[in-house]
Structure 1
Amino acid sequence: MSEFIEFLKSFHESARERFKSPLIGTFSIAFLIYNWRPIYILMFSKENAETRIEHVDVNYCSLWAIIIPLGVSLFYVLLLPELHVLVDKKLKNVTKERITEKIDIRVHRLTEDQRIFQLEFTNNQIKSGNKDLDELNNKLMSQQKLIDNMNEQHKSSSESYEKFIETGKINEENYKKMISDLNKQLERQRSQLKYEDLVNLANKKVRPYSLSDKNLLFNDFNIQYLDDKLMNALFDVFRETIANGKQFLQLSNLGKGLLEYYYAQGLVDYEMLLDETDGTSKYKVRTKV
C-alpha cells in the first residue's frame, strides 16, 4: 500500500513538473479552449453517459481536436517570441528614427536661433561701434578745444610773465636802494642814542611783556632780534623783576631766554626747582654784579 502511495506521489510530482513546461501548459489551455463544447457536454449534459460519449465521438472526435491546439501551443511557444523580437527590432528602429528626427529638428532650431543671435549681436556691435566713434570724435574735439585754450593761456601767461620779470627787475633795484637807505638811517639813529635812551626804550618795549609767571599768556617778545646794547639795557629791568634771589619763580620763554643769556655773560647765577605737583620748572635768580 505504501508503495502505491509513493508511486502516486512520484507521478504527481512528475506531472506537475511537466505541466510547468511552457509547451504543455500552453497546449492544455489551447486544448480546453478548442474542445470546450465536448467537455461541457460530457460534464453537464442530462443524457446518459453512453449517449454523451457517442455524441462526442461522432461530432467532435477528430485529429483536428489535437492538431489545432498543438499548433497553437507551438506557435505561442516558438514563433510568437520570434515575432516579438522582430516587432521590437522594428519598433526600435522606428523609435530611433523618431528620436533622430526630433534631434534634427531641435538642432536645426538651435542653429537658426544661434544664427539670429549672431546677427543681432553683430548689429548691436555695429550700433555700439558707431556710438563709440561719435563719442570719441566729440571727446577729440573737446580735447582739441582745450588744447587751443591752453595754448592761448600759455601765450598770455608768457607775455604777462615777461612783463612781470621786467617790472620785478626795476622793483628789485628800488628795494635794494630803499633797504640800503633804511640801514644807513638806522645806524645813524643807533649811534645817536644814549644809555638813558636805551633804558627808556627797553622799559617801554619790554614791560608790556612778561618776564615771569605774571603774564605768561601774552609773551610774544623774541630776544633774538635784540642787540648787545639793548640786552645790557634790559639787565636793569631783569634785575628788578626777576633776580631778587628771594623766591622761586616760574619763567616764561622770554624770561628763560634772558636768564640763559645773562648766565652765559656771567652776570647772574640761578637755582632750578622741579615742581612735582604740576611738573613745571621754577627758578631762583641772583645777580653777580
Structure 2
Amino acid sequence: MTLADLIKDFIDTTKERLKTPISGAFLWSFIIFNWRPIVLLLFSNTSIENKIIVINHEYCNFWALFFPFFIALFYTILVPKLMLQIDKSLIETKEERINNIYLEKEHLVDKKTTLASKEFLLKSAESGNKEIQELLDQIESLKQHNFSLQESIKQINDSNKNTIEELNKRLKISNDSLIELQRNYSNTTKLIEKDRKKYDDLHNTIVGDTLHLQKSLATSILKAGDSLTFDEYLLLKTIEAKEEESVFFGNSAIGFRLLHDMSVKGILHYTISEEGREVVFTQTGFILADIIKSS
C-alpha cells in the first residue's frame, strides 16, 4: 500500500466518523467554545513553542472538553427526544384533522347523492325511462366514489397506526441507548475515582514498597512519585514495557508534553524521529511504574 493510499484511507475513515451525530455535534461545539486557542494557534505570529505554552496554561482545562461534550450530548440525545415527543403529541390532532376532512367529503357525497335522487325523480317525471337509467347510473357512480373515499380513509388510518408503532419502537431504542450511555459513564466515573484515590495515596505506597531498596534509589523514586501529575500517573499505569526495552509513541502535542515533563523528572529518556518518539524508562521510572501497576 502506497503513502497516498494510506492518506486516502485515513481521510475516508475520518469522514465516516464525523458523519455520526455525536461526533459532528461535538466538533462544532468544541470549535465554538474553544475559538480563542484555535485562532491563536492558526494566526498568531509567535513561535509554535510559545503558542503551545500559552494554550496549555490558559485554555487546556476540564471545561474546554466538558462544555462541548455536554452541549453535543444535549443536542444529539435530548433535542431528538423532545422533537419526538412533540410529534407524538400532534399525531392525534393530525389524525382527527384528516378524519374531519374525509368526513366532510363523505357528507358532500351524501348530499350530492340526495340531490341526484331528487333530480332523478324530477327527470323521471319529465323525460321517462331513458333519463331514469342515466340518473341511476349517476347514483351508482357516486356510490362507488363514496366507497373509494371510505377505503382511502381506512388506508390513511392504517398508515398512521403503523407510523405510531414505528415511532414507539424508535423511542424505546433511544431510551435503551441512553440507559447504556449512563451506565458506561457511571462505570468510567467509578474507575477514575478509584484511580484518583490510589493516586492520592501514592506517597505512602511508594514508601512501603521501597523499604528494601538502596536509600538513594528509594529517595529518587519517592521524589519522582511526589511530582507526578494525575495524567502522568495514568500513563505509567497503562503503559506496558520491560526494563531497558523501548516504547514507541506517535506524534501528538499531549504526548510530547507528558514525555517532556517526565523526562525532566528523571522517569524516562526519549529520542525524537519523524514518526514519533522512542521512550526508554530509567530505573527509577521502571520501578515507579511497577509500584503503580501493583497498587
TM superposition score normalised by structure 2: 0.32
The structure having more radius of gyration, on CA atoms, is: 1
- Which of 1 and 2 has higher RCO (CA within 8 Å, sep 6+)? 2
TM superposition score normalised by structure 1: 0.32
